[in-house]
Structure 1
Amino acid sequence: MIVGSFPEMPCGVGDYTYRLVEALLRVDEGVKVDVVTSADSRVKVSSHARLVVHQVSNWGVRGLFSLMRMAARSGADVVHIQYPTKGYGTGLAPNLLPLFWYFYRPRMSVVVTLHEFTIAHPLRKLSTVFLILAPRRLVVCDLREEKALRHFRWPRGRPELIPLGANIPVWFKCHPQVREGDHLTLCHFGFLNKSKEGFLCVEALCRLWREGLPSKLVFVGGIKPEEEARLRALAAEKRVADLVSFTGFCPTDEVSRHLAQADIALFPFRDGISLRRGSFVAAMQHGLAVVTTRARDYLPPGLQDGENVLLAPVGDWEAFLQAVRRIASDSELRLRLGTNAKRWGAAFTWEAIARRHIALYRELVGVRVKGDGPK
């Protein structure tokens, strides 16, 4: 497993990979995993006889061949690259690895999970050409990504769609009680940048106060310093600075506690909700009432507006704010949405995701899953 970031390094793909590795080891005793990650990732993993972590300091082109030798020495049956991660920086070794591996070890299977394509910058898309074309299998986490990439894979086969799970275990249960005479707690969870329209969360807080609905807002997770400064300035301008707080990057149990203490989760995604959003899945699994955005041509399976989530069209920020007002003023709606959200989120278990990966690996190396009969 090649991944530039790994806990305790703040990166959603790094957290995803850690959860996947844990689940692979848990569901199949015949699996052994070597993880290659960054030297500065401050890896903290529980000791496990079937897990080995290697750290490298160079993800650039110069480090490509040492990376290939390290993977070869491990005796791996499958090399699985997770892309992108913060730990890679601008290094191109992961991008070139599938192509070089095709000639260096043609019999060894390479799998790539591409976590971002449709929203990537055009130059980033261009840099992923070998990650798309060269590997034996390409994995994506969302149907929209699969549709965008299926035509590029001929004759290698269309991408494999395996949804992701939440990076945050449910350590704390969300409270079901209706709050009377107390502040509602709004929260946003996930690494915050301009693509997530954090200013709308602050605006929603102001609207609720103006309409007599006392509230507070918590931004849970990492945030770019310039984005935090921008949001703090906006909160001060709106005179709600003392009602807005930022947790910064924090351990998973603290994230779970913040989610469990919240009443409403806000996700004003600029590109709309998708199954790539592990933060959204985590909020749903915690039983939170969620307001988010949807693109015109896409909605993840099982989501129903008004039943397990409240939706506003991408770009219609007034509709988003109206949805927040609706959910904040209706305690029965919050309870129904939260209950149904938890049911929806229950389908995204790491055990099921790990079994899908194991079936893929065994297919590539010509080994049937136990109980399937002879090859």
Structure 2
Amino acid sequence: MIITGSLPPMSCGVGDYTKRLAEELASDLNHEVIVLTSQGVFNDIFKFKVLSEILNWSILESLKYILILKKNKPDLIHIQFPTQGYGRGLLPFFIPFINFIFRVKTVQTWHEVYSLKFLPLVFFKSIFSGSIIITREKYSTYLSKFFRFFLFKKKFHYIAVASNLPPVNLSKHSFSEVKSFYQKNQSRLIVFFGFIYPNKGIELIFSIADPSKDQIVIAGNFGLNVDYNNQIHKLAFSKFWKGKVLITGSLPEIEASKLLSVADTIILPFRNGVTGGGESNGSIHAATTSGSFVITTSDEIEGYDKERNIYFAKIDDVSDMRYALEKYSSFKNVLNSLEIFKNQWLLIKTKHELVYSSIQSINI
């Protein structure tokens, strides 16, 4: 049983990752895969069993979780941290303890690095977990020394993430059709995709791009920061950009893949930058797998990575990102993206099976 607060059609990168992982595991007839998630998910669109039963992930729902546990009798629980759907609910932090009481082994995946304020909760949930999967190879280096002291005895398994979006191979006609739809009357197509949050630095795109030739497409949902949402709207309807910006909201999987594949440049100007070259960032993987040129930020790497067709600029360095846009825009990485995508996810599935086998005597 895999536990996640979010699952498509809910918007959440970890939710998208969980869906892909569950599909890979369920493709093996030796596995029965159940995903427990929040209420509101449609069960009939998945290739695995979905229990859409948790309302708000509060401690008050512990009894409901116990009943689900006793009814389904899973050999192993694999819980994803964090997800949008958990909100501020504390139940996910207590699930490893509940599993321990009922003698069910637990695996956790930590997709993000925790700040020191979460130490008590993180330490508590780690005590009752057999293994912890991390998505950054040098995860411990991003933790404070105090954090590392409390977790030094835990067994960590590094499993790299991959794109959650399957790449598309468009015919010349389809490519032109999709490109024309989004690019409209401009000569260059600039794309951002993901949540519209302040730490994504989306407002910088309006300074990086050129309104005389660029069409900006923002494919993502607005967050709860009203001031930031208003800032993006104001920029989009300014005298320089009016009629040259399209905010689509979250797109269906296939449409998002098409949009990325026709982009001249995908700009992800994250305010917190990416670590390890974006190894744990699903957006970076999806962008580079599309073959389009990508600009992002990092405080660890600088310059153009030809192999991945991605340029790393310093955080908030608009002039450097503008330089990269003019120099490398429209570069395409010619590769067998679909085959790479399939192989990456086969490797992710295999590594998960090895972790499961190491803590539970299941015939994998």
**Mapping of residues 207-246 of structure 1, within 5 Å:** 209=212, 214-224=213-223, 226=226, 227-237=228-238, 239-246=240-247
Identity of aligned residues (%): 26
Q: Is contact 2:40–2:52 with CA below 8 Å preserved after alignment?
A: no
CA distance in 2, matches of 1:232, 1:91: 31
* SS of residue in 1 equivalent to 2:237: helix
CA 1:325 to 1:221, structure 2 compared with 1: closer, same or farther past 3 Å? same
Aligned 1:93-108 pairs, distance under 5 A = 93-102=91-100, 104-106=101-103, 108=104
Q: 1:31 to 1:341 in 2, by over 3 A?
A: closer
Task: Name the SS for the 1:187 alignment partner.
Answer: strand
Q: How does 1:1-375 map to 2 (within 5 A)?
A: 1-26=2-27, 28-46=28-46, 48=48, 51-102=49-100, 104-106=101-103, 108-118=104-114, 122-124=116-118, 126-148=120-142, 152-157=150-155, 159-173=156-170, 183-206=187-210, 209=212, 214-224=213-223, 226=226, 227-237=228-238, 239-273=240-274, 274-296=278-300, 305-307=305-307, 308-328=309-329, 334-335=331-332, 338-339=333-334, 342=337, 346=341, 349-367=344-362, 369=364
Distance (Å, rounded) in 1 between the aligned partners of 2:99 and 2:359: 15
Question: How does the TM-score come out when normalised to structure 1?
Answer: 0.82
Task: Report the CA distance between 1:220 and its aligned residue.
Answer: 1.3
Q: Which residue of 2 aligns with 1:372?
A: none
Amino acid in structure 2 at the alignment position of 1:98: P
Distance 2:165 2:319 in 1: 31
SS at match of 1:222: coil
Matched residues in 1 for 2:51 and 2:342: separation? 30
CA distance in 2, matches of 1:174, 1:95: 47
Of the structure 1 ranges 36-45 and 183-192, higher mean CA displacement relative to structure 2 is found in 36-45
Distance in 1 (CA, whole Å) between partners of 2:188 and 2:171 is 14
Count, aligned residues: 345
For 1:80-115, what per-residue CA distance to the aligned partner results, in whole angstroms no more than 9, with x for missing partners?
11111121121100011213333x034x21011111
Any idea what the Cα deviations from partners look like across 1:311-360, whole Å, max 9, x if unmatched? 112243322222122223xx5xx13xx23795996587222211111111
In structure 1, distance between residues paired with 2:134 and 2:270: 19
Q: In 1, Cα distance between the equivalents of 2:191 and 2:124?
A: 39
Q: For residue 162 of structure 1, what is the amino acid of its counterpart?
A: I
SS in structure 2 of the partner of residue 96 of structure 1: helix
Could you tell me whether the CA contact under 8 Å between 2:123 and 2:150 is conserved in 1? no
Q: 1:315 to 1:82 in 2, by over 3 A?
A: same
Unmatched tracts of structure 2, length 5 or more: none
Q: RMSD of the alignment, in Å?
A: 3.0
Confirm or deny: 8 A CA contact 1:232 1:241 kept in the other structure. Answer: no
Change over 3 Å in CA distance of 1:95–1:341 after alignment to 2: farther
Measured in 1, the distance between the counterparts of 2:295 and 2:342 equals 20
Alpha-carbon distance change, 71 to 165 in structure 1, aligned in 2, over 3 angstroms: farther
Taking the aligned partners of 1:65 and 1:74, their CA distance within structure 2 comes to 14
The one-letter code of the counterpart of 2:310 is: V
**1:110–1:135: 8 Å Cα contact kept in structure 2?**
yes
Offset at residue 232 of structure 1 (A): 2.0
> Could you say if the C-alpha distance between residues 322 and 304 of structure 1 is closer, same or farther in structure 2, counting changes exceeding 3 Å?
closer
Amino acid at match of 1:56: I
Residue type of the partner of 1:161? Y
Within 2, Cα distance between the matches of 1:325 and 1:44? 46
Does the 8 Å CA contact 2:311/2:324 hold for their aligned counterparts?
Answer: yes
The structure-2 alpha-carbon separation of the partners of 1:43 and 1:8, relative to structure 1 and needing over 3 Å to count, comes to farther
Give the drift of 1:182.
5.8
Is the CA contact (8 Å cut-off) linking 1:68 and 1:97 kept in structure 2? no
Instruction: Report if aligned partners of 1:112, 1:131 keep a CA contact under 8 Å in 2.
Output: no
Measure how far apart 1:30 and its partner are: 0.8
The CA deviation at 1:45 is 2.5
1:373 maps to: none
Residues 78 and 275 (structure 1), Cα distance of their counterparts in 2 relative to 1, 3 Å cut? same
